[in-house]
């Protein structure tokens, strides 16, 4: 697991192999861990469960994941502005 993971500042996507040997993925947008009050370990463990991992989560399981960080942007727009942009071919 990437110990430089910036919980709350980055979105996080993990890839892992489950207990049956199948490749699985799970992701959280940047705000999820902060809203839940999670630290790095709690975030990774929650992602493993979200991705369908049913076995015991050990340090070895955490070390075996592939973690990708990403940035996203959250924008709010009124419906009327959205319709206006769509009408003008911008949405």
- What is the spatial distance between Cα 7 and Cα 31, in angstroms, rounded to a whole number? 8
Residue ranges covered by each domain of the chain: 11-87
pLDDT of 8 > 60? The answer is: no
Helix (H, G, I), strand (E, B) or coil at 22: coil
Better-predicted residue by pLDDT, 28 or 2: 28
With 90 as the cut, is the pLDDT of residue 6 above it? Answer: no
At residue 25, what are phi and psi to the nearest 5 degrees?
-140, 160
pLDDT of 53 strictly over 60: yes
22 has a pLDDT exceeding 50: yes
Which conformational region is residue 71 in: left (phi greater than 0), alpha (psi within -120 to 50 degrees), or beta?
beta
pLDDT at residue 5 in the model: 53
């Amino acid at each position: 697991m990437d110990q430089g993971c910036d919980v709350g500042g980055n979105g996080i996507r993990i890839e892992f192999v489950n207990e049956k040997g199948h490749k699985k993925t799970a992701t959280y947008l940047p705000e999820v861990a902060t809203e839940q009050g999670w630290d790095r370990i709690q975030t990774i463990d929650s992602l493993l469960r979200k991705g369908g991992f049913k076995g015991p989560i050990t340090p070895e399981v955490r070390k075996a994941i592939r973690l990708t960080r990403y940035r996203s942007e959250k924008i709010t727009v009124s419906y009327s502005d959205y319709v206006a942009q769509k009408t003008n071919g911008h949405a």
